[in-house]
Amino acid sequence: MSQSIRKEDQHHGREEEIQRRIPEEDVSPRTLRSTTPVFDITSHCLFCSENIPTSDRLTSKRRKLISNVETTEFKDSVLKCARERCDEWGNLVAKRIESAIDLVAAEAKYHCRCAQEFFQCRGENTVGKPADAAREHAFSELCNFLDETDECQYSLSELLELMETVLMVKMDILCNTS
């Protein structure tokens, strides 16, 4: 009997010693699979993981627009955007869809608004042509010219010629300085 008590005391002493050696801030709380919410690709939004109601009982004002994944390229574009975002939301979405081979076959669903917010990739606007600084400068010079002169009628060819002249002068300045 006394031997079993001694062993328990020795074991208890080791645990205390280990706890003293490990600083409390280094110990991360454990998460169990049973405590994490279950995600079902057919009944939850891919982006926000909210449950998507199947009934039409909600009024149209309270209901979010829902869409089904319809192309196989959708998964690639979501994963690409998740990598570009480099944030917690992107990582969560990537984890949700990486295990699915075909989102179309899995009948995945998402809220249209959530997809819009996700694909904005932190507010960067990548739509359209990139801005051309030289042309913007030439256009502002043309606007200044029109504001400063008293004439009210110009032909398009005159305005185009003036803008091209400003562009040529700007290009000559750039070429001579480099």
Q: Are residues 138 and 116 in the same domain?
A: no
Predicted confidence at residue 56, as pLDDT, reads: 61
Q: Are residues 102 and 66 in the same domain?
A: yes
Predicted confidence at residue 60, as pLDDT, reads: 58
Q: Are residues 85 and 162 in the same domain?
A: no
Which residue did the predictor score with more confidence, 14 or 168? 168
Angle between helices 73-85 and 112-119 (to 10 degrees): 50
Q: What average pLDDT is seen over the chain? A: 76
Q: Are residues 109 and 160 in the same domain?
A: no
Domain membership flag for residue 27: no
| Tally of domains in the chain | 2
pLDDT digits (tens, 9 = 90+) for 48-99: 888 877 766 655 555 678 888 888 888 888 888 888 888 888 888 888 888 8
In three-state secondary structure terms, 7 is helix
Q: Are residues 45 and 122 in the same domain?
A: yes
Q: Are residues 112 and 165 in the same domain?
A: no
What size, in residues, is the chain? 178
Q: At 38, which amino acid appears?
A: V
* Cβ contacts of 79-86, under 8 Å, gap ≥ 24: 81/118, 81/119, 81/121, 84/121, 85/118, 85/121, 85/122
Model confidence at 126: pLDDT above 60: no
What's the rounded Cα separation, in Å, for the pair 63 and 60? Answer: 5
Which residue did the predictor score with more confidence, 28 or 109? 109
Q: Are residues 41 and 118 in the same domain?
A: yes
Identify the H or E element spanning 120: none
Predicted confidence at residue 20, as pLDDT, reads: 60
Domain membership flag for residue 14: no
pLDDT > 70: what percent of the chain?
A: 66
Task: Show the tokens assigned to 102.
Answer: 């075909």
Beta strands in the chain (DSSP E): 66-68, 109-111
Q: Are residues 109 and 50 in the same domain?
A: yes
Q: Are residues 91 and 141 in the same domain?
A: no
Domain membership flag for residue 17: no
* Confidence category of residue 2, pLDDT binned at 50, 70, 90: low
Predicted confidence at residue 177, as pLDDT, reads: 63
Domain encompassing residue 96: 37-127
Q: Are residues 42 and 114 in the same domain?
A: yes
pTM above 0.85, yes or no: no
